[in-house]
Chain A
Amino acid sequence: MALEVTLQAAGPIPLDLAFRVEPGQLLALVGHSGAGKTTVLRTVAGLWRPENGRVAVAGSIWLDSASGVNLPPHRRRVGVVFQDFALFPHLTAAQNVASAMLHMPKAERRAEAERMLGLANLHGLADRLPAQLSGGQQQRVALARALARCPDVLLLDEPFSAVDRATRERLHAEIIGLRAHLAMPVILVTHDVNEAQLLADRLVVIEKGRMVAEGVTGRVMSDPVALRALGLREAGATIAARIVAHEADGLTRLETSAGPLLLPRLDGVPGTWVRVRIMAHEVILARQAPQGLSALNILPGTVIEVKPGDGPGAFVQLRLGRDTILARVTRRSAQALGLAPGVDCFAILKSMAVACDQVGAGTDPADPDP
């Protein structure tokens, strides 16, 4: 049931890519606007045809330039969530969802549509028109509609860029919760690296129509080539943490595999797992545990690799407990501190450096079947 995609085109944007997504995996296509990410998505959906391409899902061929196969979108079992929702404005929420259920007998569609809306936290809104729903609600209807098709592939085209930040965080959480029930390959197109890092298993970084990096999220985010395309300030890593308690002075205490973490007040019941994105340029390194610092988070770790850049900077990859993080320091400091693979050091992180949208819902890393 895996999805395989290759495509080449000369225009309007020159494109040359190939990748594969396994069932249940979420692959994020990241890159700047105009890099070609949406074009790739549209190729998989059948809304665009490259000069040369091949799209195969679970053994059935949707597109093959070599043999002239090109199924139109309505003959591909694909679910698409569009950037601006693209709900049918004249139909209610339930009717929107039901219109993707053409494979079901008509009598059953309404009940099933209501059930899906319920799963998407839209109880009681089945008979509302899109104009009567908020942005977040509309996006959930769009998602329900895409899933109502029982698609072989789920495509999300910048689905959260049209909603406000608070709604976006909630939707992120729901996607993560939904992941467990999604058996098909999922492709997410986004220009928001933060979002990609929080949600995706694998990343493909696209620059000017070419793949500059591809692989597991963590590894891509520490790849300098990828980071140069995304912007070096995007360098960061995520670690899993569990909420322990909310303290009286507005901080939340979390527990990571390397030690305690104090962050500004988070939403969440103690016991909940989260993923925290730690930006590389916010991490200070020290050979000894420092004293008298204002920073509250000092975690012990071991250097895995030091990657000098072209300029004065260097990326240091660090193991913290079971997680890996990145730190961006000057080459001068790396040399002065004698940072090399295997060396023990401490990572220092300001609590206030972590923004609330850098914390997303997570799963217990020890639980094999979340």
Chain B
Amino acid sequence: MAVWALVRKVFGALGLAATLGLSALAAVAQDEPPIVAAAADLRYALSAIAAAFQAETGLGVTLNFGSTGDFARQIREGAPFQIFMAADESYVAALYRDGFTRDGGDLYAEGRIVVMVPQGSALAADENLDNLAAMLATGTLTRFAIANPEHAPYGLRAREALIHRGLWDALQPMLVLGENVGQAAQFALSGNAEGGIIALSLALAPEVGARGDFALIPADWHGPLLQRMVLLRHAGPEAEAFYAYIRSPAARAIMARYGFVLPGG
């Protein structure tokens, strides 16, 4: 009985707390740092840029990494992002056309794909994918990871490259698809696959690069990865400041470290 009396008090306290209501929560979200929706290949590069931005201006941003296609969908459904950094400019063009963005945005980098294999893999990373072709021919390949071509630009370009090399059909049953190129990298290097095709910027990151070897895939094997960024409709002044910072020399230097070919040089 004593326990019930205590429980009654607890329930009463909870009921009191419940009168606060959810609208209080809705109001809280006003003065948080602006959210940047960035393609997964930018994880390490953009984190470094954001840190430099914070050091210089004292302003913070919240970074959200995922697949370009997913973010585009979420933006259409009203997600509260203020900057969108896509790995393929066609998504930005579509959003601009449909009125979700302030303007057509700016090209901030051109990306490259690499073939990457974990330490000790039977597959060797060579830029012509000869080793991959050989393993496929002998039937010794079990798993190969790429990003999902449906909504991740890096996955789409990986598929184009494989088609160009004539390996796509043979590779189909062995493919593991990541939700975005970051997850593809994680699959490729997890030890459960012989390797995969991921973004150069991820391979150049110390956290990733230390885990294996990679080789650059010729750029003319696939369409270009023209990465475009844009301010979304309700972007505020802090978002604008960060947007400008990304195009500054300091930020461009960081991007170059991660293998991004920059427009205009």
| Interface residues, chain A, with chain B CB atoms under 8 Å away | 90-91
Please encode chain B, from 1 to 22, with 1 for each CB lying within 8 Å of some chain A CB and 0 for all others: 1001000000000000000000
- In the complex formed, the residue of A with least CB distance to B1 is A90
Shortest Cβ gap from B88 to chain A (Å): 66
Interface residues of B in 205-226 (CB under 8 A from A): none
Q: Given the complex, which residues of A lie within 8 Å of B1, measured CB to CB?
A: 90-91
- In the complex formed, the residue of B with least CB distance to A91 is B1
A72 to B27, CA, bound (A): 47
Shortest Cβ gap from B8 to chain A (Å): 12
Q: Given the complex, which residues of A lie within 8 Å of B4, measured CB to CB?
A: 90
Shortest Cβ gap from B6 to chain A (Å): 14
* Chain B: number of interface residues, binned into ranges: under 10
| Interface residues, chain B, with chain A CB atoms under 8 Å away | 1, 4
A37 to B1, CA, bound (A): 37
Shortest Cβ gap from A136 to chain B (Å): 24
Shortest Cβ gap from A98 to chain B (Å): 14
A90 to B4, CA, bound (A): 10
For the A-B complex, the count of residue pairs with Cβ-Cβ distances under 8 Å equals 3
- In the complex formed, the residue of B with least CB distance to A92 is B1
Shortest Cβ gap from B42 to chain A (Å): 62
- In the complex formed, the residue of B with least CB distance to A95 is B1
Q: Given the complex, which residues of B lie within 8 Å of A91, measured CB to CB?
A: 1
Shortest Cβ gap from A195 to chain B (Å): 36
A90 to B8, CA, bound (A): 15
A90 to B7, CA, bound (A): 14
Shortest Cβ gap from B85 to chain A (Å): 62
A90 to B1, CA, bound (A): 7
Shortest Cβ gap from A129 to chain B (Å): 9
Q: Given the complex, which residues of B lie within 8 Å of A90, measured CB to CB?
A: 1, 4
A290 to B4, CA, bound (A): 73
A142 to B135, CA, bound (A): 86
A91 to B1, CA, bound (A): 8
- In the complex formed, the residue of A with least CB distance to B4 is A90
3 smallest beta-carbon distances between A and B, as pairs: A90-B1, A90-B4, A91-B1
A259 to B83, CA, bound (A): 113
A-B contact pairs, 3 of them (CB 8 A): A90-B1, A90-B4, A91-B1
Shortest Cβ gap from A9 to chain B (Å): 40
Shortest Cβ gap from A161 to chain B (Å): 30
- In the complex formed, the residue of B with least CB distance to A90 is B1
Shortest Cβ gap from A134 to chain B (Å): 21
Shortest Cβ gap from A99 to chain B (Å): 14
A91 to B4, CA, bound (A): 12
Shortest Cβ gap from A89 to chain B (Å): 10
Shortest Cβ gap from B133 to chain A (Å): 77
A6 to B118, CA, bound (A): 90
A253 to B1, CA, bound (A): 53
A91 to B5, CA, bound (A): 13
Shortest Cβ gap from A87 to chain B (Å): 14
A354 to B54, CA, bound (A): 103
A90 to B5, CA, bound (A): 12
Shortest Cβ gap from A337 to chain B (Å): 69
Shortest Cβ gap from A91 to chain B (Å): 8
Shortest Cβ gap from B140 to chain A (Å): 71
- In the complex formed, the residue of B with least CB distance to A129 is B1
